[in-house]
Chain A
Amino acid sequence: MGVALVALLVVFFIAAGLIGWAVGIYNNLVAVRNNVDKAWSNIDVILKQRHDELPKLIETCKGYMKHEQSLLENVTRARASYMSAPDVASKTAAENALNSSLRSVFAVAENYPDLKANQNFLDLQNRISAIEESIADRREFFNEATTIYNTKIQSFPDMFFAGMLQLQARPLLEIPKEQTEDVKISFS
């Protein structure tokens, strides 16, 4: 009987250990997912500020960049797809596309001296550059949160729980260095 009682205590520890371990993994996965959502909310506010400037930028550029209508349309389309994106993953992808289009617009603007001299364009350029600084820090935070999340859901044994919770890997806000620098170009 004594041995059975000791065995029972051992079984209790093993069972409690397994339950505690599983609960810990589940809670941690929920926490890292929430971290990504929180990091996104943090950056989303600033991104919206920048998006609010885009129609004015396009309107200003339209008059000068008559041969670059497709570029401007790409920005409009990317902005629209960002606005209609249902979740963080698709919003991130849309934001990456928007940044790419915006970079092209600023790069091509170099070829239009009249546009570069336009005060409205310069003001918009400066405002977008200022917002970009805030975005940079928050993007770093968002990417770190997303990397932690992606690593967790792909590592053993968390991957089994991630599968049960149907957690999917999420894209990073990838912005190459030169792209960021392009946005920061000053035409003054």
Chain B
Amino acid sequence: MSNKDPLPYAFFGLAAGIGIFFWGFGVRRRYKTIESTPTSRVRSVAVGLVEIHGRAEIENMPLRSPFSQLDCVYYSYNVEERRKSGKRHTWVTIAKFQSSQPYRVRDETGSILILPKDAECTFRVDNNYRMSFFSDANEESFKAGLERIGIPHSNLFGERPLRCSETYILPGDELFVLGTATPRSFSESSERNEDNLFIAKGSKGALFIMADRSEKELLSSLWWQMCAMIFLGPVLAVSCFWYILHRFHYL
């Protein structure tokens, strides 16, 4: 088999197609859970899986996003480096971070604490940074941000080929949260129901989703993912299987 022999790719495609097909059912489960969970008002949130809509609020101190330097309630980033692998270049993640400081979500009836640790975030990327040939203000913020998180932007050979995506939630941003409401451990409970609870990831396998889009948009996105996976997975697997059989002269 030469290096360009597609047979290994065909085996990979067969396995991937089967995996994608079953993963599609996982997406379907998430779609159905979001679709069938009624939206709660913060004031009347009950223990268990809940879905709320509201605006983000700072709990104690604001966070500062490392690259854009904005006061926010949550941020995440993903830094990648372009590396050579054989004859090809690929982007490899060298640093990834998701803040876990609690914040609040407020609707017209009250506000409730969110513990974002282990949340599955569906946020639009707010900023993309990339080292470029010509230095500009964007690249300067990128370099400063890299220094803040302890990643050197240059080495012996010059500037490293890096890129980064940053996401943040500013106070006042609209949010959709689906998670598990859990009682807070206080010596005395508050009269307000929402002060006695927080939303976080529940037991293993429980959904915990934070999104900066409406439920309708989220469902629409999941629906397309689900359809693509359930239908294209088998197409990929069958095509690859067909090719494998053909290569081994069964067809």
Contact = CB atoms under 8 A, between A and B. Distances in A.
B234 interface: yes
Given A134-B44, A138-B44, A148 B38 contact: yes
Interface stretch (A4-12, A49-57, A120-128): A4-12
B33 A31 contact: yes
A61 to B, nearest CB: 29
Nearest to A45: B46
Contacts, number: 74
A2 interface: yes
B41 A2 contact: no
A179 interface: no
A137 B41 contact: yes
A92 to B, nearest CB: 16
Contacts of A3: 251
A141 B51 CA distance: 11
Contacts of B230: 17
Contact of A145 (B38, B43, B109): B38
Nearest to B249: A2
Q: Which of A5, A13, A27 has the most CB of B within 10 A?
A: A13
Interface of A: 1-3, 5-6, 9-10, 13, 16-17, 20, 24, 27-28, 31-32, 35, 38-39, 41-42, 134, 137-138, 140-141, 144-145, 148, 152
7 closest Cβ contacts across the A-B interface? Answer: A2-B250, A144-B38, A2-B251, A137-B44, A13-B234, A42-B46, A2-B245
30 contacts: A2-B246, A2-B250, A5-B245, A6-B242, A10-B234, A16-B22, A17-B230, A20-B25, A20-B28, A24-B28, A24-B29, A27-B29, A28-B32, A28-B36, A32-B36, A35-B36, A35-B37, A38-B46, A41-B46, A42-B46, A138-B44, A141-B40, A141-B44, A141-B46, A144-B38, A144-B39, A145-B38, A148-B35, A148-B38, A152-B36
